[in-house]
């Protein structure tokens, strides 16, 4: 039986893929499988993955005929996964040797639905540890209990899918698939759903994932229209949270986080192409009008003056339905 399925999407990362694959080899075990999903790369990545499929123990190589984005590539991997446990890695990141064995050991010992871990963020030569914003470690918790408070960073803000491991029963319950087609912020509806609907989770102080920041091909570095998918992602978070049995308690967190993300993008609007910057303002204004207005009022009242003023000004902006649909 396969103990662990590791899902790794790749897209035009020929510069980094060899390091990623080398680190997977240093984590190989006879009962681990590595599902390598090429999302229709146009560089040398496919050749690298074809070679890895022959040389990496447990490797499975899948290729998309057209580019679908990270969410769709992860879903392809989930559909093929056979493991009792499932985890993710991005094609430009890497792992410490033996990390996955420790990760599986930790979740088996705790017996929870999913486990979250810290990670190392790497920007050029700089290294920094980023921790799950949950203080209690090595203890099984209710995931709903750590969504709040609304005005602080919590576990749903630490949305990295690869910073953890997930029991197969979550896949069988429909909780591990991502929203098809989302090009950015795909982890946000996913992590909220996990925390609302899974029964148990835990956090452990285990470092082993090295997250590469500042990659030129990453969407976080590209100011094109795909970045605006964060609006679709957070619309989904708010919509699904509004249907939750504890909507009155949880919606303030969802709405406030959505507002903070909108403000963040507006604060660095110069990195977007001019047409995309205009669309960002239009779509964000429309998003503010869709939010539960009483909850939005409370969220804006709780924010600092600069962000609140920026968002209130945007909220007053007239929105042409044709512009939103364009």
Q: Report the range of poorest mean pLDDT among 123-127, 131-135, 156-160, 249-253.
A: 123-127
**Listed residue (154, 160, 65, 181) closest to 114, CA to CA:** 160
Q: What is the pLDDT of residues 24-73, one digit of tens each?
A: 999 999 999 999 999 999 999 999 999 999 999 999 999 999 999 999 99
Single pTM value for the model: 0.94
* Averaged confidence pLDDT in the chain: 95
Note whether 128 and 256 are same-domain residues. no
Note whether 179 and 290 are same-domain residues. no
Q: What is the pLDDT of residue 326?
A: 44
Q: What is the pLDDT of residue 217?
A: 52
Q: What is the pLDDT of residue 325?
A: 52
DSSP of 236-254: HHHHHHHTSTTHHHHHHHH
**How many structural domains is the chain composed of?**
2
Q: What is the pLDDT of residues 289-304, one digit of tens each?
A: 999 999 999 999 999 9
Instruction: Look at residue 324 and tell me whether its pLDDT is greater than 90.
Output: no
pLDDT band at 90 (very low <50, low <70, confident <90, very high): very high
pLDDT band at 224 (very low <50, low <70, confident <90, very high): confident
pLDDT band at 214 (very low <50, low <70, confident <90, very high): confident
Note whether 142 and 269 are same-domain residues. no
82: phi > 0 → left, psi -120 to 50 → alpha, else beta; which? alpha
Judge whether 16 and 72 are in contact, CB under 8 Å: no
Q: Which two tokens stand for residue 180?
A: 């098809």
Note whether 123 and 254 are same-domain residues. no
Last residue of a domain, one of 169, 187, 214: 214
Q: What is the pLDDT of residue 199?
A: 98
Last residue of a domain, one of 162, 186, 214: 214
Last residue of a domain, one of 214, 236, 256: 214
Tell me which residue range forms the domain holding 70. Answer: 4-214
Instruction: Look at residue 222 and tell me whether its pLDDT is greater than 60.
Output: no
Q: Report the range of poorest mean pLDDT among 54-58, 179-183, 224-228, 278-282.
A: 224-228
Note whether 316 and 248 are same-domain residues. yes
Note whether 73 and 165 are same-domain residues. yes
Note whether 70 and 154 are same-domain residues. yes
Note whether 47 and 146 are same-domain residues. yes
Note whether 48 and 181 are same-domain residues. yes
Residue burial 275-293, b: 16+ Cβ < 10 Å; e: rest: ebbebbbbbbbbbbeebbe
Q: What is the pLDDT of residues 1-24, one digit of tens each?
A: 999 999 999 999 999 999 999 999
Q: What is the pLDDT of residue 215?
A: 63
How far from chain centre, in Å, is Cα 302?
26
Q: What is the pLDDT of residues 252-265, one digit of tens each?
A: 999 999 999 999 99
Q: What is the CATH number of the domain that holds 67?
A: 3.90.550.10
Give the CA distances from residue 257 to residues 74, 147, 157, 276, 310, in Å, rounded to whole numbers and listed in that order.
25, 11, 8, 22, 15
Q: Report the range of poorest mean pLDDT among 105-114, 143-152, 197-206, 221-230.
A: 221-230
Q: Report the range of poorest mean pLDDT among 64-68, 171-175, 270-274.
A: 270-274
How crowded is residue 271: how many other Cβ atoms within 10 Å of its Cβ? 12
**What span, in angstroms and rounded, lies between the C-alpha atoms of 306 and 326?**
30
Longest pairwise C-alpha distance within the chain: 60
Note whether 248 and 310 are same-domain residues. yes
**What span, in angstroms and rounded, lies between the C-alpha atoms of 116 and 158?**
9
Instruction: Look at residue 320 and tell me whether its pLDDT is greater than 80.
Output: no
Note whether 183 and 247 are same-domain residues. no
Note whether 200 and 321 are same-domain residues. no
């Amino acid at each position: 039986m396969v103990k662990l399925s590791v899902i790794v999407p790749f897209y035009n990362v020929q510069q980094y893929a060899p390091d990623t694959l080398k680190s997977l080899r240093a984590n190989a075990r006879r009962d681990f499988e590595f599902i390598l999903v090429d999302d229709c790369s146009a560089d040398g990545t496919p050749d690298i993955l074809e070679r890895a499929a022959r040389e990496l123990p447990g490797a499975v190589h899948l290729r998309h005929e057209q580019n679908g984005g990270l969410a769709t590539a992860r879903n392809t991997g989930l559909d093929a996964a056979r493991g009792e446990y499932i985890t993710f890695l991005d094609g430009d990141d890497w792992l410490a040797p033996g990390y996955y064995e420790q990760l599986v050991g930790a979740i088996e010992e705790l017996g929870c639905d999913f486990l979250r871990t810290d990670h190392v963020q790497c920007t050029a030569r700089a290294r920094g540890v980023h921790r799950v914003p949950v203080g209690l470690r090595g203890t099984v918790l209710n995931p709903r209990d750590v969504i709040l408070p609304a005005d602080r960073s919590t576990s749903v803000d630490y949305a990295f899918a690869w910073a953890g491991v997930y029991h197969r029963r979550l896949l069988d319950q429909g909780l591990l698939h991502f929203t098809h087609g989302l090009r950015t912020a795909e982890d946000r509806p996913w992590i909220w759903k996990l925390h609302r609907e899974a029964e148990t989770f835990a956090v452990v102080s285990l470092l082993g994932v090295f997250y590469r920041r500042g990659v030129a091909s990453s969407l976080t570095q590209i100011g094109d229209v795909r970045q605006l998918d964060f609006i679709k992602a957070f619309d989904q978070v708010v919509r699904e949270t509004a249907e939750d049995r504890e909507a009155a308690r949880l919606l303030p967190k969802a709405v406030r986080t959505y507002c903070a993300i909108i403000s963040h993008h507006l604060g660095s609007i110069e990195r977007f192409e001019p047409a995309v910057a205009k669309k960002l303002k239009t779509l964000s204004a429309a998003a503010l009008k869709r939010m539960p207005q009483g909850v939005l009022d409370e969220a804006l009242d709780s924010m600092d003056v600069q962000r609140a003023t920026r968002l209130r000004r945007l909220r007053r902006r007239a929105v042409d339905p044709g512009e939103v649909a364009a």
